[in-house]
Each structure stands twice: as structure tokens, then as C-alpha cells.
Amino acid sequence: MPGVGRTISDIRLNSKRALVCGRGSETHPGFRPRISTPTADIESDLYVTVDHSPDYVGYITRPGDYAISVIVDPAVPKKIAEVGGKIHWFAPSYMDLPVPRITAGKFPRENSGLACVALAVFLGAREVLLSGIRLSGRYAQFMEGKEIVFREASGAGVSLYSTDGVLCDRVPEGARGWT
């Protein structure tokens, strides 16, 4: 596909566990690898977005690896390049394009937090801990998509946990290695 260099297939997680962070919490566990939405505004190993608003460039502030959907506004990859980021492309599951595809919700309501979960699964994580991924208030519109993404994760044998126990089971007390 013209203009596409790296894809999410070029990313290596190097762990069977991943921490997925969103902006619904101001603090997150220190576990690595950490996958987050740029809106979480934290240092991460990978930033993920499916947001197609040109205003989203305001959240692109850090260098690093970015996994972005082909549907993002053209200003987003430009801004990522300006801050020294490296882009890895993917496509929504409903588009038949020659790049890897992931499900980030139910069309037309995809969500960057759900894309983080789907990407962790795509990259081979067997356990995923969610921190600050909330689908309430204005984000409640993504609940139907959450069911799809979580069902796909479960079907792939991936265990999902959360720090607050809202979207999925709370990480077990005393679980080792998540801090």
C-alpha cells in the first residue's frame, strides 16, 4: 500500500503480558510493556490511536512507537513525525487492505482504548491488564464494541484483568509481576 512503511506486524512485544492504559485514571502500574492511548499522556512503549479528528494532534506530544489506523486524520501521522515518533500502520477489521487488521469496536464507533487491547492480543500477549480504560459517560457508546473486542480476546485464550474490576475481573490480589 503506497505510503505505508512499517505495520503492526513489525512490532515485537517480547512479553506474554501487557499493560493497557487510557486516560480514565491519573496513575497506572509501572509494568512494562505499556501500551496506551496518547490521551493518557504517560510514557509508553507503544501509543495507539484510531481517532480520526484533526484535533487529536494536540495529544501527540511524545516520541516513540505509534500504532495508528489508516482512518486517522492525515495531520496525525504528520504530527507523529514532527515529535520524532515511528509509525506502524493497521487497518480496521472491516476494511480489506494489504495491512494487518484489528477490531477496535463496532463500526462506526471504534475506540483507541479498545484498539490497545486488540493490539496487545495481536502482538501475542496472553494476559492484559487494563488501567484507566473506562467506557462510561460519553464513552458508553463503545460498550457494544467492547463486547466484540473482549470476545475476540477470550477466543484467542487471552485473560483480561483491570485495576478497578469494572470492565473485566480485577487483577487477583497478590498477583505477581503487575507492579
Q: What is the pLDDT of residues 18-72, one digit of tens each?
A: 999 998 888 898 899 999 999 999 999 999 999 888 899 999 999 999 999 999 9
pLDDT tens digits, one per residue of 82-125: 999 999 999 999 999 999 999 999 888 888 999 999 999 999 99
> Do 29 and 40 meet the contact criterion of CB atoms below 8 Å apart?
no
Q: What is the pLDDT of residue 179?
A: 60
pLDDT tens digits, one per residue of 136-177: 777 777 778 889 999 999 999 999 999 988 888 888 776 667
> Do 178 and 129 meet the contact criterion of CB atoms below 8 Å apart?
yes
Pairing of strands 34-36, 109-110: unpaired
Q: What is the pLDDT of residue 177?
A: 72
Judge if the upstream peptide bond of residue 33 is cis by omega within 30 degrees of 0.
yes
Distances in Å between the alpha carbon of 101 and those of 93, 132, 134, 147?
A: 5, 24, 23, 18
What the block records as the C-alpha cell of 60 is: 501527540
Beta-carbon contacts of 99 under 8 Å, excluding residues fewer than 6 positions away, are 1, 4, 7, 8, 70, 89, 90, 91
